[in-house]
Amino acid sequence: MRVPRLLAFSAGAAAVLAGTLLPAGTAAAAGQNYVALGDSYSAGVGAGSYDSSSGSCSRSTKAYPQLWANANAPASFKFVACSGATTGSVTSGQLSALTSTTSLASITVGGNDAGFSSVMQTCVLSSDSACVTAVNNAKAYAQNTLPGKLDALYSAMRGKAPSAHFVVLGYPHLYYLNSGFCIGLSNTKRTALNSAADALDSTISSASSRAGFTFSDVRPIFNTHELCSGDDWLNSVTYPIGNSYHPTALGQSSGYLPGFKNGVASALRVAAKS
């Protein structure tokens, strides 16, 4: 009888010791089956170090999903976010990564639906008034059409992974507006573009709440690190042109990664209370 008792004691002691020495977040993360969905902001466009096997999706080893997986060693990790993704292409091309065993998933989506790539092109190449008009059209889409698309997508995500914690991340402001000197777009254009991010994030936050998902707002984290801040975590107009107005590697590691961690912690707290 002594040997079984000794083994039982040793196993229990090991479990206690592991709980003592390992941070709670690390222990919880080790059991996660994590899937990273979404568009270029989740793929890591603009951060460099792209996985050649991801092709035009341009998934970066410096993107927040990969950084989180590297640090937390989840039980499984599927990284399917893709540059240019919309709610429709996520539904048709990414949701197969979700299964009944998925326990954690992240996503950024909505900007491409609202046409912000073409809005940026208009604002860079055209007048203030043309930029403001383009922004207002995109905001109207974000407020009136995008909610239904997000509702449908989030419902499909929940259907594929009924037990998962879903963390939805928003988009940062592009410009720091308190800079005394900023080369490039006029203050009118910069203000309009920031208001577009606000409209988009508001819609995404509301849709996340309706779905019972956790929304993580990255605007406060990027505050004072936008373009023209002097400590930018975003690419301005650059080459390749597709990297423009996307987070840099630092924007992923210091902006989106903390945003995702905050979202995971919040989701786990809510689950613990329910």
Low-confidence ranges of the chain (pLDDT < 70): 1-30
pTM: predicted TM-score of the whole model, two decimal places = 0.89
Helix (H) or strand (E) holding 77: strand 76-79
Which region holds residue 83: left if phi is over 0, alpha if psi is between -120 and 50, else beta? beta
Q: Of these residues, 58, 246, 254, 274, which one is catalytic?
A: 246
> Is position 83 annotated as part of the catalytic site?
no
Whole-number pLDDT of residue 201:
98
Given a contact cutoff of 8 angstroms between Cβ atoms, the answer to whether 111 and 135 are in contact is no
Q: What amino acid occupies position 226?
A: E
Which region holds residue 6: left if phi is over 0, alpha if psi is between -120 and 50, else beta? alpha
> Is position 246 annotated as part of the catalytic site?
yes
d(CA 104, CA 15): 24
Say which DSSP state 213 is in. P
Given a contact cutoff of 8 angstroms between Cβ atoms, the answer to whether 267 and 259 are in contact is no
Buried b (16+ CB within 10 A) or exposed e, 94-132: bbebbeeebbbbbbbbbbbbbbbeebbebbeeeeeeebb
Whole-number pLDDT of residue 204:
98
Query: Of the candidates 229, 222, 243, 132, which has an alpha carbon nearest to the alpha carbon of residue 186?
Result: 132
Q: Of these residues, 40, 83, 229, 244, which one is catalytic?
A: 40
Domains of the chain: 25-273 (3.40.50.1110)
Q: At what angle are helices 187-211 and 128-144 packed, to 10 degrees?
A: 10
d(CA 112, CA 83): 10
DSSP string, 220-248: HHHTT-SBTSSS--B--S-SSGGGTTSB-
Residues near 91 by Cβ (< 8 Å), separated by ≥ 6?
A: 152, 153, 156
Q: What pLDDT, in 10s, does the model give residues 178-213? A: 877 788 899 999 999 999 999 999 999 999 999 999
